[in-house]
């Protein structure tokens, strides 16, 4: 019955509690409470702006619980780079911080990761999303690294930035390193990339008439700072990660953790031919409130025309389900 119900779907965390990771914060003075260095910024930090005089940077009162970094002005962008960290390819990196913004409707603020070559040349950024003036008060922004896209990178840094005309405050910044899962095709399987109360890089769908929210849950995650939560009432609800290309000569294994305070949880692999949904391979169910690992293996023979697959979280019924630590591997 469950398979039939889910096959009929067209495949079209969570309250932010500010829980701190158990890993070491690689950002020194991310709370801005310690003494400052040059340019009235934390030691080793530097600023950038376009135009050069378009933005002002100050550290002072107005933080979540003390001081904060304020960027204000008008231009294309203004930002501050925290101390660069030597990039260890055996680690995965996640940055997050709290952001508050006021200004024009087109103003945005974010926390991102920047990558640098051995000679210090800027190579590019990983960005999960932006806070705008429509977001009221302090909001969290988290981003996961995409170091696989920057093969020349030798160092990495957490960066805060404002675009457009406005004021943006930043506080309680973190950069955390944890052991990587080599070959994981999911860039947000740890649910560390969030904007406000939403995980990024996941789409959501429900059965007809279903009422379910997808949020980032900071309460006792399995991996990293957040879990993906599906909560509400629906015959089924899905949260699918951004698709990856499907090589039918390889076998894909999706593993992950789930718990279900109410309802039923599963993980599954969805198959697509372009944008056309073809079907799925799903795991055993989880019905308990303890984190439980599940594994599902792809079946290329069932979907010979598939071009892409998606790692997908599933909730069934009157649900309050969490998902975390998703890893998609190909061999």
Domains 2-16+201-330 and 38-179 share a fold: yes
* The residue to which tokens 């933080």 are assigned: 63
Name residues of the chain where pLDDT drops below 70.
1-22
User: Residues, the chain, total?
Assistant: 331
Domain ranges of the chain: 2-16+201-330, 38-179
Q: Please, which residues bridge with residue 231 across strands?
A: 213, 320
pLDDT digits 0-9 by tens, 121-162: 999 999 999 999 999 999 999 999 999 899 999 999 999 999
**Would the CA dihedral through 295, 261, 97, 313 be positive or negative?**
positive
Tell me the CA distances in angstroms from 274 to 7, 143, 197, 282, one per residue in order. 17, 27, 30, 21
pLDDT by residue (tens digit) across 160-181?
999 999 999 999 999 999 998 8
Beta bridge partners of 280: 270
- DSSP annotation of 24 reads P
Cut 0.75: pTM above it: yes
CA separation, residue 22 to residues 19, 25, 93, 235 (Å)? 9, 9, 14, 37
Residue among 303, 230, 234, 229 at smallest CA distance from 269 = 303
> Which CATH architecture describes the domain 38-179?
Sandwich (2.60)
Task: Please state which CATH number belongs to domain 2-16+201-330.
Answer: 2.60.120.200
User: The tokens of 190 are what?
Assistant: 């740890």
pLDDT at 39: 82
pLDDT of residue 5: 40
In angstroms, rounded to a whole number, what is the distance separating the alpha carbons of residues 324 and 14?
13
């Amino acid at each position: 019955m469950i398979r039939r119900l889910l096959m009929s779907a067209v495949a079209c965390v969570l309250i932010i509690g500010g829980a701190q990771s158990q890993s070491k914060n690689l950002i020194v003075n991310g709370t801005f409470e310690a003494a400052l260095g040059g340019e009235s910024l934390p030691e080793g930090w530097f600023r950038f702006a376009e135009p050069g005089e378009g933005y002002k940077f100050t550290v002072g009162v107005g933080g979540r619980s003390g001081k904060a970094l304020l960027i204000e002005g008008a231009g294309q962008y203004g930002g501050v780079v925290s101390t660069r960290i030597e990039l260890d390819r055996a680690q995965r990196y996640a940055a997050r911080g709290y952001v508050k913004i006021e200004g024009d409707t087109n103003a945005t603020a974010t926390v991102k990761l920047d990558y640098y070559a051995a000679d210090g040349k800027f190579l590019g950024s990983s960005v999960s999303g932006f806070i705008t003036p429509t977001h009221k008060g302090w909001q969290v922004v988290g981003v996961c690294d995409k170091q696989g896209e920057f093969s020349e990178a030798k160092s990495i840094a957490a960066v805060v930035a404002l675009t457009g005309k406005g004021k943006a405050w930043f506080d309680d910044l973190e950069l955390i390193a944890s052991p990587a899962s080599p070959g994981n095709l999911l860039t947000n399987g740890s649910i560390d990339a969030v904007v406000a109360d939403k995980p990024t890089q996941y789409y959501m769908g429900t059965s007809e008439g279903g009422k379910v929210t997808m949020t980032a849950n900071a309460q006792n995650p399995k991996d990293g700072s957040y879990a993906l939560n599906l909560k509400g009432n629906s015959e089924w609800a899905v949260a699918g990660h951004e698709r990856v290309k499907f090589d039918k000569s390889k076998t894909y294994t999706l593993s992950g953790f789930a718990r279900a305070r109410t309802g039923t949880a599963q993980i599954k692999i969805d198959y697509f031919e372009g944008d056309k949904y073809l079907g799925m391979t799903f795991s055993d169910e989880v019905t308990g409130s303890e984190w439980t690992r599940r594994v599902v293996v792809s079946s290329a023979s069932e979907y010979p025309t598939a071009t892409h697959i998606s790692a997908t979280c599933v909730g069934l019924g009157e649900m309050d389900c969490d998902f975390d630590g998703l890893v998609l591997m190909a061999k």
